[in-house]
Structure 1
Amino acid sequence: MTGLPLLPDRTCGGCVECCRYIPLDLPELAKPTGELCAYCIDGAGCGVHAIRPQTCRTWFCVWRVVELSDDWRPDRSGVIVRPDGLQDGEITLYVIERTDFLESDDFFDTVVHWLDNDIRLALSIPGPVGTYPVRAVVTDYLKQAITAGDRDLFDRLVAYSLDSLANHAWQPDGVVARYAVGETPS
């Protein structure tokens, strides 16, 4: 993500979820969606950090740029808040794992705040390794529960949305793993 400054003193730490779930198809690095990058040390970070590709240097989840609690860190929440669309008033919650966080007050209050500020909201989930994730805008769908003040309905609608996305016909991403960071082309 370019254009937005990172929060000071907030680092990825042991979170490597973007290194697992975000697809890459670059000349020097390609990995299918859902496959942990071969340069990544699970729970520790990038093994080629000093020479990583530009895309890896500039792509950050929204947790790194917006004041969200530490519970929103993707490896804790199971949610990668994607930056694409942010500057156009849209947030995509890429739910990589269903955790209790999705039914937390923090999750609910944050989503309500976003919707109250006219930010469109999409939910997305990964498919099997090597397939594109699926995504659906759920702003109006969730607003009905928020307008009614019905928290239980909100939780059910989020769960139903994720269940519906999981029934999607997955499309292969066509990415073949290729690891050549730091190699000189012949």
Structure 2
Amino acid sequence: MSLPLLPDRDCGGCVECCRVIPLNLPELAKPTGELCAYCVDGAGCSVHAIRPQTCRVWFCLWRVVELSDDWRPDRSGVIVRPDGVEDGIITLYVVRPTEFLGGEDFFATVAGWIAEGIEVALSIPGPVGTYPARAVVTDWLRPAVEAGYHPAFVDRVLRSLDRLAEHDFQPDGVTARYAVAS
């Protein structure tokens, strides 16, 4: 899937996707949750000009959708994943819980998506080398959203994350391999 990127918006020092996305390509393999060895934390890809095609075309929705700068994954702790968008599902991959999850911007945006009929899923990482846990939480969040009751919404988000943390995380089976040619 290739979505048009917003002009004048770039990743900057955010490298969250370089950490959480698993890759199993001939020239590059890295387990889920392991920072790519070609990534310079806070700066980006050291082989940017010759990075694999997968890395060239994958962007979080912060690069695509009009969201505030606070939504940038390294600031918010949330990666808005593009997979599922074409099916009407937005997955909020909570890399780490932050104060952003309790903020009005997060509440208003998620409430807006639910009001528009978009399904919302929450996801969290497991240990390095395991697939993340994910659950669609639209119906669970809807009562708080429809009531416009922000504290109940935050409580339901945090309870969902706690429940996801109890997940039986499955290994992704990827062994690190770095062989991008220069």
TM-score (norm 1): 0.96
RMSD after superposition:
0.8
Runs of 4+ in 1 over 6 A off after TM superposition: none
SS at match of 2:120: strand
Please list the CA deviations of residues 20-62 of structure 1 after superposition, one character each: whole Å capped at 9, or x if unmatched. Answer: 0111111110000110000000000000000000000000000
1:55 corresponds to? 54
Instruction: Map 1:115-130; keep pairs closer than 5 Å.
Output: 115-130=114-129
Compute the displacement of 1:148 (Å): 2.4
Q: Which runs of 5 or more residues in structure 2 are unaligned?
A: none
SS at match of 1:140: helix
2:69 corresponds to? 70
Please list the CA deviations of residues 106-159 of structure 1 after superposition, one character each: whole Å capped at 9, or x if unmatched. Answer: 000000110010000000000011110010000011001112232111111000
Compute the displacement of 1:87 (Å): 1.4
Task: Give the length in aligned residue pairs.
Answer: 182
1:91 corresponds to? 90
Q: Which runs of 5 or more residues in structure 1 are unaligned?
A: none
1:175 matched to 2:174 = yes
TM-score (norm 2): 0.98
2:31 corresponds to? 32
Structure 2: how far apart are the matches of 1:171 and 1:40? 25
SS at match of 2:157: helix
Compute the displacement of 1:181 (Å): 0.8
2:101 corresponds to? 102
1:163 corresponds to? 162
Instruction: Map 1:1-12; keep pairs closer than 5 Å.
Output: 2-12=1-11
Identity percentage over the alignment? 73
